[in-house]
Amino acid sequence: MKPLLDINRLNIDYQSNKKEFNIIKDINIQIDEKMKYGIVGESGSGKSLTSLAILNLLPDALKVDQGHIKLNTDSTKDLITLSKKEMRKIRGNDIAMIFQEPMTALDPVYTIEYQLLEVLKIHKNYSKKEMHQKGLDMLNKVGISRSEQIMKAYPHELSGGMRQRVMIAMALICEPKLLIADEPTTALDVTIQAQILDLMNDLSESHHTAILMITHDLGVILETCERVAVMYAGQIVEESTVENIFEEAAHPYTKGLLSSIQSLGERSNELYSIPGNVPTPDNYQELGCRFATRCPFAMDKCYEQEPPMFEVQDDHASKCWLHVEEAQDDERRTSRAGS
């Protein structure tokens, strides 16, 4: 079966009159129907840009240099090649997105009802009465009481958790095949975060919606996802099931992220942090491995040549020269034992 979403060798470049350099390189992601897929990494790793490329919402200075993004619904569509008019038919209907900050994503001058029902006006052929009832039902589904009153409210009159629930309702009201959630729990307190994640899981099951979860929080990935891609400096450096990543992380960057998590009951004088900073995009091409300047295992080869995506075990890949060296050592030991 074809995946619902197929991102193949996606490359995004920054282009201006004075500069041109690569930002996102060789992104490969396949999301099946009803799958919960996560992308995790530090701020500036390219997670949100990848999601914006799916919806054809990249800023003018950023261009897709190569690759394709195919959505398999009734037919196979390469989203990169579609016109603005064709993309408007897909956004909100086949693919919906929850943006990072609901206070800035919601328009302050329109009521919740106007913004919630706008997507229905564009994509569905409902009467005003049917749309209003659909909006009430959706607000109830996301756990908002007094839905009739909330429909008449403005965004600034709601709490952060309420606004996030409204964003989820807007995203799911047309029952899309894929929901992109870009940091959906940012700026929410821990209790509300847990409620929002449980709500998204429940709605995904009831609406048969696949989720692409974008976050810097590995705890969110563990709570919601089946597979995960770890991104660093515009590249996927490790990809596998959530179980493999948490139990047998292979890439030094992933190990660093996991080491920075402190468990309940664990005592430590200081939290671990990966030394150094993420390189800026205009410096990417000067490096072989983009993580080399922060990696405790970096070799000369890491600064000179980009490592391949190496399969460390079945269904588990990591972009690191260490795995290639280890595989070659194993081959040499096997060869000597055989002779």
Q: What is the pLDDT of residues 184-228, one digit of tens each?
A: 877 677 787 888 888 888 888 888 899 999 998 898 899 899 999
- Residue 8's Cβ-side half-sphere holds a number of Cα atoms within 13 Å equal to 9
Please tell me the predicted confidence (pLDDT) of residue 104. Answer: 82
Cβ proximity of 262 and 250 under 8 Å: no
Judge whether residue 336 has pLDDT over 70. Answer: no
Query: Would you say residue 280 has pLDDT above 90?
Result: no
Find where tokens 């099946």 sit: 32
d(CA 186, CA 279): 24
Of 183, 217, 232, the one marking the end of a domain is 232
Locus of tokens 């106007």: 114
The tokens describing 4, both together, are 């619902």
Same domain, 201 and 239: no
In this structure, are 214 and 329 located in the same domain?
A: no
Q: Is the pLDDT of residue 333 over 60?
A: no
CA-closest candidate to residue 186, choices 210, 156, 216: 216
Question: What is the pTM assigned to this prediction?
Answer: 0.90
CA neighbours within 13 Å on the CB side: how many for 216? 11
Same domain for 244 and 331? yes
Tell me, yes or no, whether 19 and 157 share the same domain.
Answer: yes
DSSP three-state, residue 53: helix
Domain check: are 257 and 211 in the same one? no
What pLDDT score does 329 carry? Answer: 58
In one-letter notation, the amino acid at residue 108 is P
Burial bucket for residue 330 (CB in 10 Å: 0-12, 13-18, 19+): exposed
**Residues 75 and 165 grouped into a single domain:** yes
Which residue from 317, 316, 228, 202 is spatially nearest to 37, judged by alpha carbons? 228
Per-residue confidence (pLDDT) for residue 291, from 0 to 100: 95
Specify the CATH number for the domain of residue 176. Answer: 3.40.50.300
Same domain, 41 and 183: yes
Domain count, the chain: 2
pLDDT at 118 over 70: yes
Q: Give CA–CA dist 89/327, Å, rounded.
A: 48
> pLDDT per residue over 159-195, tens digit each?
888 998 899 899 989 989 999 999 887 767 778 788 8
Nearest CA-CA partner of 209 in 199, 217, 218, 219: 199
Between CA 133 and CA 234 the distance in angstroms is 43
Tens-place pLDDT, residues 28-61: 999 999 999 999 999 889 999 999 999 999 998 9
**Strand 310-313 relative to strand 235-241: parallel, antiparallel, unpaired?**
unpaired
Shared-domain flag, residues 65 and 80: yes
Q: Do residues 91 and 79 lie in contact, with contact meaning Cβ atoms separated by under 8 Å?
A: no
Residues 6 or more apart whose CB falls under 8 angstroms from that of 185 comprise: 164, 192, 193, 196, 197, 215, 217, 220
Asked if 227 and 275 sit in the same domain, the reply is no
Question: Can you tell me the mean pLDDT for 229-245?
Answer: 97
Non-local (6+) Cβ contacts of 13 within 8 A are: 20, 21, 22, 23, 62, 63, 65
pLDDT at position 181, please?
A: 93
Kindly state whether residues 167 and 140 are assigned to the same domain. Answer: yes
Say what the pLDDT of residue 320 is. Answer: 95
Domain carrying residue 294: 235-264+271-338
Q: What's the pLDDT band for 128 if we cut at 50, 70, 90?
A: very high
Name the DSSP class of 279. P
Whether residue 47 sits in one domain with residue 110 = yes
For the segment 308-322, the average pLDDT, to the nearest whole number, is 93
Q: Which 3 state secondary structure label does DSSP give 334?
A: helix
Q: Are residues 67 and 94 in the same domain?
A: yes
Arithmetic mean of pLDDT, 280-302: 88
- Model confidence over 58-90: pLDDT tens digits? 998 999 989 999 998 655 678 999 999 999 999
**In whole numbers, what is the pLDDT of the chain averaged over residues?**
88
